A and B are shown apart, each in its own frame.
Chain A
Amino acid sequence: MSRTRELSVDPVTSSDAARAQDETRRARLRSGKVTDFAIQASVLISIGLIWEIASRGGFVHPFLLPPLSEALMRLVSNAITGTLFIDLGLTLYRAVTGFAISAAIAVPLGVLMARSAPVRWFFDPLVSIGFPMPKIAFLPIFILWLDIYDTAKITMVAFSCFFVIVSASYAGTLAVDRWQVWSARSFGASERQVLTEIVLPMALPQILTGFQIALPVAMITTIVTEMLMGGRGIGGAMITAGRFADSVGVFSGIIAIALLGFAVIRTLEMIRRRILVWHAEARS
């Protein structure tokens, strides 16, 4: 009889587990994490309410600050007619294409700069001068050289992202642990194997950080070039709304851009976690 009691599921242990779960839940409430979130959410909600009341109540002229509800309704109606998705899609297409072209050139260049002294000598001053420059100033030159449509926009985006990605790839490759490289070589790895299986994976976290900075830069640049050149795309739509004094359109555009930016940043974080799942930083 005592043997069967030992083999069966012990009711005492299972209620221990339930008690432990209760403790964690209560501890979380005590540490204030839930209340923190609730307070911060309510701050955003109250700002939304203040906006709505200020605008509808006439405290701020409804032209300068149209009611939040109207901006949201315009957003929804644009979504229904599809113009919102056309505009956001166009902007995203230009940003991602420019970013991809830039990355395809900048990552190999950064890695090469870290491994070859002559390449580094030639490009280092160009990169360090180009970094703090307001690269948007070069847009009129690109318009002159290319065209007034997408080519100039995408080239401008690629130019803007280029320096960030080169710096990040350069720094990441430079920081690769020499011991790992020597260890691989002592096992007989060829230079190519060292590059593809040691150097590039170890440089990947910093390269990805460079990407996480560069893609928002690409989006900002796309929006500004669209504002300058007009046409479609979320930037173009907003500046057209501005010129036609359509303030509801302007504010609904802002909300759309904020949502797009939020989505892009979250997606990048998710992608980074997936790609770097093998890396030490995923464990911390």
Chain B
Amino acid sequence: MSIATPFRYAPLLILFLAWEAATTFGLISTQMLPHLTTVIATWWELMAGGELPSQAYRSLSRSFAGLGAAVFFGILIGVTMAGSRAFRLVANPIVQAFYPMPKSALIPVVMIWFGLGDMSKISLIFLGCMLPVVISSYNGARGVNPFFIWSAKSLGASNAAVAVQVVLPGAMPEILNGVRTALAFSFILMVSSELVIARDGLGYLISTFGESGSYPAMFAVILTVAALGFIADRTYSAFMRYVLRWRES
């Protein structure tokens, strides 16, 4: 964080000041847009009372479980697709068939299969996040310079060693980009599914507060969710830069 950072994010501050001014001077009724100060105070109450952290923990643990499984199986499937023509011919039509389908359309399906509990959200996030990881792993693995693979084989490397020590690092930039997309998807699917079918979690909090008319609390949770998505993306980008630091670019 350099000196320039506050200057760079100053427009946000302007937006927040405009928000507070609009409500204080009565330009917008506080029914529609609570005071920024009220929202912040309510947010603090929710944090201190433990409600926000515990619900956040439930939501995030579900989405990371689904995301983790999606990343693991996605990389496995994508790299295998690049390596084996037989496997690709079987897996490719399935991938192509799922590609144009909005994964949120699966919400009613997982609701039928798993009800309102944890499994429905974990499976939805798993299914929804697999596709970007599979596609980017496949493209990344395909793009590895064949000379590297041949070199390794001529030095006696087994297929497994080639996959882990040559293909995987070579495909890493694209795989990491695919995982970044999957991360964004996981947040979207987490919020969407919890707004529709949930008993707990951040989305459930949002809909309950909305329905009971506690708008400052609703705003507070929504802004928290937005901030979490932003922080997750930025943290992941830093992680990506760290993992790829051995590359020249």
Contacts and interface: CB of A to CB of B under 8 A. Distances in A.
Interface stretch (A124-132, A195-203, A275-283): A124-132
B102 A223 contact: yes
Interface in A105-139: 121-126, 129, 131-139
Nearest to B15: A126
A187 to B, nearest CB: 37
Contacts of A43: 89-90, 93-94
B195 A134 contact: no
Given A139-B195, A258-B101, A265-B100, A227 B108 contact: yes
With most chain B CB atoms within 10 A of its CB, the pick from A124, A245, A257 is A257
A165 B12 CA distance: 20
B101 A125 contact: no
A254 B105 contact: yes
Size class of A's contact patch? 35 or more
A168 interface: no
Contact of A144 (B104, B207, B215): B215
B100 A141 contact: no
Interface string B24-40: 00000000110000000
A44 interface: yes
Contact of B191 (A137, A144, A241): A137
Given A125-B8, A125-B11, A254-B106, A137 B226 contact: yes
A155 to B, nearest CB: 14
A245 B195 contact: no
A96 interface: no
Contacts, number: 145
With most chain A CB atoms within 10 A of its CB, the pick from B14, B103, B195, B215 is B195
B112 A137 contact: no
B230 interface: yes
A239 B11 contact: no
A238 interface: yes
A41 interface: yes
Interface in B91-118: 92-94, 97, 99-109, 111-113
Contacts of B187: 132-134
A204 interface: no
A63 interface: yes
Interface in B166-208: 184, 187-188, 190-192, 195-196, 203, 206-207
Interface of A: 36, 39-41, 43-44, 47, 63-64, 121-126, 129, 131-141, 143-145, 216, 219-220, 223-224, 227-228, 235, 238-239, 241-242, 245, 247, 250-251, 253-254, 257-258, 261-262, 264-265
Interface of B: 8-12, 14-15, 32-33, 89-90, 92-94, 97, 99-109, 111-113, 184, 187-188, 190-192, 195-196, 203, 206-207, 210, 215, 218-219, 222, 225-226, 229-230, 232-234
Which 7 A-B pairs have CB atoms at the shortest separation, nearest pair first?
A132-B233, A261-B100, A242-B108, A220-B102, A134-B187, A40-B93, A140-B210
